[in-house]
Each structure stands twice: as C-alpha cells, then as structure tokens.
Amino acid sequence: MGKFELMALPYAPEALEPVISRETIAFHHGKHLAAYVNNLNGLLEGNPMADLALEEIVCQATGGILNNAGQILNHELYFGQFTAPKADNQPVGKVAEAIVRDFGSFEAFKEAFQKAGATLFGSGWVWLSADKDGKLVITQETNAANPVQKGLKPLLTFDVWEHAYYLDYQNRRPDHLAALWQIIDWQVIEKRFG
C-alpha cells in the first residue's frame, strides 16, 4: 500500500475484444501497471516527492521514480480512453474540428499517427497532444516519457510497448495500431481537450 493505487478499469476486462483481449488486459493492467504502482510506492517511501501529484513527479523526477511514475500516468491515460468497439468510430466536437484544422482530415491524422507509432524504435508511446495555444501535435515518446514533460496536454495515446499487443498481434504492431481506432472513446478525448 502507498499513495498511489492501481486504477480501476472503466469497463469489463473483455469489453474491448476482439481489439484487445481479456488476456492482454489481465497482463497489461493487472500485472504490468500494478507493478509500476507497487514500485513507485516503494521508491517514494521517505522521498520528498511523495507529496507531489503524479504529473508533478513525472515532470521533476529522474531514474526509477520517473520510469514508474511515467508509466502509471501513461497507462492511466491509455486505459481510460477506451470503450467497446464501434465500426466507423469518429472524433466529436472541438477535438474533431481541431484534427481537421491541424491535419487536413481525420484520415490524414490517423495515417500520420499510425506511422508515428509503427516507426517508433523500441518501446514507447505515440501521443496526440495540444500545445498551449490548442494546436494539436503528434509526438513519439520513448520508454516512460510523457508529453507533459514538454509542456503539452496529452489527449490520446497508443502504447507501442510489446506487452500492449504481443499476445493478440505478435509482432504485427501496425495491425494493432490500425485496430485501436475502433475502441477510442472520443468523448473522453474531447473532455481532455477541454
């Protein structure tokens, strides 16, 4: 036990099938994310950073504290953005307008986002974030990095660590990235965009 707790999923473990299997959720959420939470709580014992919010820790920490805090923040945003699969799932509201404004079309955005995820070498994350002026940007973040470290507001992320997809897609990362659009809860992304 410690300051941070494993987030509860806002859906049943099988709710994202066939895009993400119940088995992947069990490992990814129940083992990987749980380990980051336990590790961070242990690392923060007696540390002055223990009083900080998670985003503040991510922006200030280094080493093991950053790695575990970053992974908790990344995974909470990741797992919190999904819903049951929908055919032809599309963004809504202001975020939909901003995607068209900044990328030309939703299809052009999807293509650029998937390419960024497919070409990220090694482990990490691809992000859609907003800068201080509300302009949308795509970034590749390695390991446990998060766009908040660059002063950006993270909106949407695809996890390209192998544990996020290997049980379901083996080494077919691009197929996994293409399938994730079916389960994005665009109302969550709209709320994050604010």
Give the pLDDT of residue 169. Answer: 84
Calpha distance 21→51 (Å, rounded): 36
- For 94, list phi and psi in degrees, rounded to 5: -65, -35
Give the model's confidence band at 63: pLDDT under 50 very low, under 70 low, under 90 confident, else very high.
very high
Q: Give the amino acid at 154.
A: P
176 is in an annotated binding site: no
159 is in an annotated binding site: yes
Fold of 93-193: minor pseudopilin epsh fold (3.55.40)
Residue ranges of domains in the chain: 22-79, 93-193
In the chain, alpha helices (H): 22-27, 34-44, 54-60, 63-79, 93-103, 106-119, 166-169, 173-180, 186-193
Q: Give the amino acid at 89.
A: N
Calpha distance 80→10 (Å, rounded): 7
Calpha distance 192→10 (Å, rounded): 16
75 is in an annotated binding site: yes
124: left (phi over 0), alpha (psi -120 to 50) or beta: left
131 is in an annotated binding site: no
Among 20-24, 43-47, 94-98, 162-166, where is mean pLDDT lowest? 162-166
Give the model's confidence band at 2: pLDDT under 50 very low, under 70 low, under 90 confident, else very high.
low
Report the sign of the C-alpha dihedral through residues 88, 89, 90, 93, in that order. positive
52-62: b (≥16 Cβ within 10 Å) or e: bebeebbbebe
Give the pLDDT of residue 1. Answer: 47
* One-letter-per-residue 3-state SS of 111-150: HHHHHHHHHCCCCEEEEEEECCCCCEEEEEEECCCCHHHH
Residue 104 CB-density burial (10 A; 0-12 exposed, 13-18 middle, 19+ buried): exposed
Cβ(3)–Cβ(44) below 8 Å: yes
Query: What's the pTM?
Result: 0.95
Counted residue by residue, the chain has a size of 194
Cβ(82)–Cβ(183) below 8 Å: yes
The percent of residues above 70 in pLDDT, for the chain, comes to: 99
pLDDT, tens digit (0-9, with 9 covering 90-100), for 131-166:
999 999 999 999 999 999 999 999 999 999 888 888
Mean pLDDT of the chain: 95
The class (CATH top level) of 22-79 is: mainly alpha
pLDDT, tens digit (0-9, with 9 covering 90-100), for 159-188:
998 888 887 888 889 999 999 999 999 999
